Homo-oligomer: A and B are copies of this chain.
Amino acid sequence: MTSTDIQFDAQGQLKHFLTIEGLKRDHILQILDTAQSFITLAKKEIKKAPLLRGKTVVNLFFESSTRTRTTFEIAAKRLSADVINLNPQHSATSKGETLLDTVNNLEAMHTDLFVVRHPNSGAANLIAKHVPPHVRIINAGDGRHAHPTQAMLDMFTIRAHKGDVANLRVAIVGDILHSRVARSQIHALAALGAAQVRVIAPKTLLPTEVERLGVHPYTDMHEGLHDVDVVIMLRLQRERMNGAFVPSEQEFFNLYGLTADKLAYAKQDAIVMHPGPMNRGLEIDSSVADGPQSVILPQVTYGIAVRMAVMALIMGGKPVARKRRGNRSTRGSDETTPA
């Protein structure tokens, strides 16, 4: 069984959510459509659905990220789950307990869903292979491997603001080499049949043979951004940059930081995305981050809805029936544009 098979049950339904790799277009659309229903819920006076009532969701963050953890915590609470936040580097694992002992123990407490972030690629997969059938795993970022809920909220954002991904040229800019976000975005864009996916970075931050992922590499922003519909900026991990990859922050900003000047190379109605938190003045200029083409804050809003959708679907909530919704190809910005 490969790492991409383990996330499906015998009927081909999503059981865990570990990676975008191996997902079909229909899986992705099912998540996006379900998320759309939670966007509606968020506008109601009482933003709660009882779908996970009586369930225990564990946020198991071996790598700390208050932001991401908060989005999952809010999503789970809006679905009426009980939520337990754990940051195991400060606890049992520091007493010599292994990853799987930690998971075994939590699972023995009759917990139902683990949201796992871990510095090692493959950690969420390892856990998913190991847990009993009724326990579900969501990968909230593992090493350089994948961050699938981030990619799903990015797809939701693109569909909401630009319509069908199949017609679009998308550029991903920044530290492609170390980015689990970029990896998951590339798989999602491929599954949805994006017209063209480009990656833009200095050579030192591009994976070798990146073309094998089906993307077009650029080292120059002018060429790379030319005529694209969507610009996705990545976060430059200051903590990882030590001179080996980037000569200086100033030089990176000059060459790759998204300014109004560089954004002008893209289509006039191109949207600008960023997974956050932003390094203003490093990978993105404030005038662009806060400008009219930015959809960075809507991304955050969609992130809650997408995480609710993934939780509801893998926990067995009835997905939104797709057949009642008419011709897929006509679905686009008018249906999903945020109010």
A residues sitting closer than 8 Å to B (CB atoms) are 42, 44-48, 53-56, 64-67, 70-71, 73-74, 77-78, 82, 84, 86-88, 90-92, 95-98, 101, 104-106, 108-111, 238, 276-280, 282, 297-298, 300-301, 303-304
- Contact between A304 and B67, CB atoms less than 8 A apart: no
Whole-angstrom distance between the alpha carbons of A110 and B300 in the complex? Answer: 10
- Contact between A300 and B105, CB atoms less than 8 A apart: yes
| Chain B residues closer than 8 Å to A110, beta-carbon distance | 42, 47, 301, 304
Residue of B nearest to A102 (CB): B277
Whole-angstrom distance between the alpha carbons of A67 and B98 in the complex? Answer: 13
Report 23 cross-chain contacts, Cβ distance below 8 Å, ordered by A residue. Answer: A47-B56, A47-B110, A56-B78, A64-B90, A65-B91, A66-B87, A66-B90, A67-B92, A70-B86, A70-B109, A71-B109, A74-B109, A74-B111, A78-B82, A96-B238, A96-B277, A96-B280, A96-B282, A101-B280, A104-B300, A109-B303, A110-B301, A110-B304
Whole-angstrom distance between the alpha carbons of A52 and B84 in the complex? Answer: 18
Oligomer copy total: 3
- Contact between B64 and A54, CB atoms less than 8 A apart: no
- Contact between A277 and B108, CB atoms less than 8 A apart: no
- Contact between B42 and A47, CB atoms less than 8 A apart: no
Whole-angstrom distance between the alpha carbons of A78 and B109 in the complex? Answer: 11
- Contact between A77 and B70, CB atoms less than 8 A apart: no
- Contact between B278 and A97, CB atoms less than 8 A apart: yes
Q: Is the interface of A mostly helix, strand, loop or mixed?
A: mixed
Q: How far is the CB of A218 from chain B (nearest CB, A)?
A: 26
- Contact between B42 and A46, CB atoms less than 8 A apart: no
- Contact between A66 and B86, CB atoms less than 8 A apart: yes
**Option from B88, B108, B279, B303 in Cβ contact (under 8 Å) with A66:** B88
| Chain B residues closer than 8 Å to A44, beta-carbon distance | 54
Q: How far is the CB of A70 from chain B (nearest CB, A)?
A: 6
9 nearest CB pairs, A to B: A46-B54, A66-B91, A108-B300, A97-B277, A77-B82, A92-B277, A108-B297, A42-B110, A48-B54
- Contact between A98 and B66, CB atoms less than 8 A apart: no
